[in-house]
Amino acid sequence: MQGCLGLYTLLRFYACRAAMATTIHIILGLLLFSLYSLPSSSAGKDDTLAPGQALTFGDELVSSNGKFALGFIKPGATGGGNDDINNKSSAASPGWYLAIWFNRIPLTTPVWVANRERPIADDADLRATQLQLTADGNLVVSNHATKAIIWSTSTNNRTANGTGANNSTTTSISAALLGSGCLVIQGAADAVLWQSFDDPTHALLPGAKIGWNKVTGMNRVFTSWKSRINPGFGSFVCGLLTNDEGVRTGTLRRLTYPSAAYYHSWSPEDSPKAMKEMKALLQANPLTRGVIVPAYVNNSEEEYYMYTSPDESSSSFFSIDTSGQVNLNVWSQANQSWHSIFTQPIDACRVYATCGPFTVCTGSSDPPCGCMESFSMTSPQDWELGDRTGGCSRNTKLDCRGNTSSTSTDVFHPIARVTLPYGPQSLPSAPATTRSECERACLSNCSCTAYSYQEDSGCSVWYGDLFNVNKNDGIEISSQDTLYIRLAAGDFPGLPRAASRKPVAGAVIAASVVGFGLLMLMLLLLISRKRFSLCGGVRSHETGQGSSVGVVAFRYADLGRATKNFSEKLGAGGFGSVFKGELTDHTVVAVKRLDGARQGEKQFRAEVSALGLIQHIDLVKLVGFCCQGDKRLLVYEHMCNGSLDSHLFQSNNAAVLSWSTRFNIAVGVARGLSYLHQSCRECIIHCDIKPENILLNETFAPKIADFGLASVIGRDFSRVLTTLRGTMGYLAPEWLSGVAITSKVDVYSFGMVLMEIVTGRRNASVVRTSSIDHVIFFPVQAIRMLHEGDVHSLVDPKLHGSFSLDEAERVCKVACWCIQDDESHRPTMGEVVRVLEGLQELDMPPMPRLLAALTESSNVPSM
């Protein structure tokens, strides 16, 4: 099957920016399109187009089973939900579209649209518009009067005998609408040359796939409509692919600014269990029992999710709606309506920036989106049609005549118990130590639109539009933060600027006094009942609540018993020693006893709680902690196969890792680092990536350990690095130059680790010749061999030639790219993941000059 260069190319563009979503666990959603305008006449009910034959405006192709139809429609709009499905909107669709819809259902519901971005205008010569199968084997929508091409499959089709589709072979080519709802171009012996299932729009039918073709690189994703009447590419995408965070899972992602993934389904490793749970869930629902059968396939050629529907009389589909939620929809013949069986994410506010700028999203409200104080909807008509991405605009312009607080009459209005907006900034000057100082700093900058002040994290300010402010609804969102938005004083007539802030300050002081009194009362009660301790104040592991609520607070005595008085040592590093332990529920854990921690209890708990929220398949999970007096301990999940270095460098007779395992480790570590750098609320720089900090579970899947410990320990990470044995080979040049450290130091270290994964040897070692010690820095020699095309000699000889040469060369190129001298020349970890997985091409990187110079100056002996 050959890829198409038209709509598919455009989808690939969006797919490269998207975090992909699995079609089964995410449970895709419905765009409730009803009352579409249809042409009044139909030329016939045939399901096939022959070369030269045209489907004109007003004609239809109908599948052989009568279930689907193809033709030109003009979408109309509904009021919004199932209850409003018969309500028309006065808004007009941008034009006419070639689409596929359910033929026997009275509510015309499109499931595929060809010319999404090029509607056919009402004032065009509609009768001159036609769909034709051309002599070269392409489907083309054009105006035969003006010869203007509106849409085309643009495929380089081939007939079954391998020759091009031309006048002598056109009799073997046809286009047909199948009973599955798939539009196909067929060659000799019914060979599929193109199909609409490979170019999904917003919906997924039974038998269609979401995922990768590993052979051709083709990706299948689907994107939301712009609005209920506009099928153009909207703001949200869904599919299965490695996203910008380096996570290869089902993902929902917002494409337009601010772009971010906002929902992940299970990973492929968890698919068997998830499939079992999904099938049980579907079997329990009368509307889906025997109707929806999910499947996950991952072989040498493809990785995809799909579902089938054994009951051919039923009608169902998955789709992503204009607000970024996804649903599974089943047609109820009895009620003559679509039923949305499942929705993900359940809380509409979990969709990233779904309400647009200057809005507050409340998941328990319907509709969930509302404008902030003194703001109004930018386009009420778009909101009515489900497109709220335009958000809200100010009613009154700000008074900012200069960058000094004395010249502005603007005021600040508090919005309590909300999540803070996307993209907080720190003050460029001296930090503000009080809320008043934070407010004055924001007021003095004309671009500052909001601020927030917290005692533990200080002052944060926002410039420009405010996105993703969600109200505490007591269900899924429970934030207690307060955001102060900047408003024009004219929106508060008769209230002077200074006076407008006094009640707020008074309320804060009163609340502080009452809160302090309540806190002291609670402490007294806890002490009197002997239930409070420095290490048990969060919750005890013996409560049996597990880790579903967050990290567990352990008592020091309990960890002493769990580790048999810290007798079974697993290892040691710059932060302290690690011991094996077993909890009362027989869970095996690794307990890290930290050395030299300087933080107080409050800050330590805050940092640990933040780390406990970081969940990723390629990161070691933090189970709990303990702080008692000067004792600081962290409790992690135990990794039964130890660290990567023991397997690469063959310590303690560890197993030799196969090439496929090594490659999967490289990709997994890259995903984990990409997540730390790009997915967390604040970028987390690991600063000490090396094989000792890469742990392996029972299936030898990698997990990064010791991330975020710089903040937990409360000391300068560079001081730790300079004292660690064996770490010198992983330090980026900027550690020595004194420049600011960025996430690119992790990229450099990762490149060094890649070299060791390929070669099975340390990147730096000391040899003695003629009573003189020489440092052999292997990466330089490895890169020279890579440039000479001798990758085979680089691979670990313990593999005895059993490896993929293409993958090995790709890994070596990435390693060379990562260890470039200038950090701006190094990739991001997201780019690393895409190259490792073959989704992005990479030319041969140059030899790092600094490494080459160091090697030449030290007269390193040959290998």
Count CA within 13 A, CB hemisphere, residue 207: 14
**Which residue shows structure tokens 């200080």?**
458
Q: List the catalytic residue out of 382, 387, 688, 746.
A: 688
- The Cα–Cα gap between 245 and 235 comes to 18
Of all helices (H) and strands (E), which one includes residue 522? Answer: helix 497-528
| Burial of 401 per CB tally in 10 Å (0-12, 13-18, 19+) | exposed
Locus of tokens 């190319």: 9
Q: Identity (one letter) of the amino acid at 283?
A: Q
Which residues contact residue 287 at a Cβ distance below 8 angstroms, ignoring those fewer than 6 apart? 330, 332, 339, 341
Q: Which of 615, 634, 742 is nearest to 685 (CA)?
A: 742
Rounded to whole angstroms, the Cα distance separating 850 from 88 reads: 68
Q: Burial level of 289, CB count in 10 A (0-12/13-18/19+)?
A: exposed
Cα–Cα distance for residue pair 711/717, rounded to 1 Å: 9
Round to whole Å and give the CA distance between 727 and 719.
12
Annotated catalytic residue 790: no
User: Which residue blocks in 537-634 are alpha helix, DSSP H?
Assistant: 556-562, 601-612
**Residue 435: how many other CB atoms lie within 10 Å:** 21
Go through the chain and tell me how many residues it has: 863
Phi, psi of 512 (to 5 degrees): -65, -45
Cβ neighbours, 10 Å, residue 594: 20
Taking a C-beta distance cutoff of 8 angstroms, is the pair 233, 7 a contact?
Answer: no
DSSP 459: E
Task: Write the DSSP assignment of 336-375 as a string of letters.
Answer: TEEEEEEEESSSGGGSTTTT-TTEEE-TTSSS-EEEPTTE
**Residues taking part in catalysis:** 688
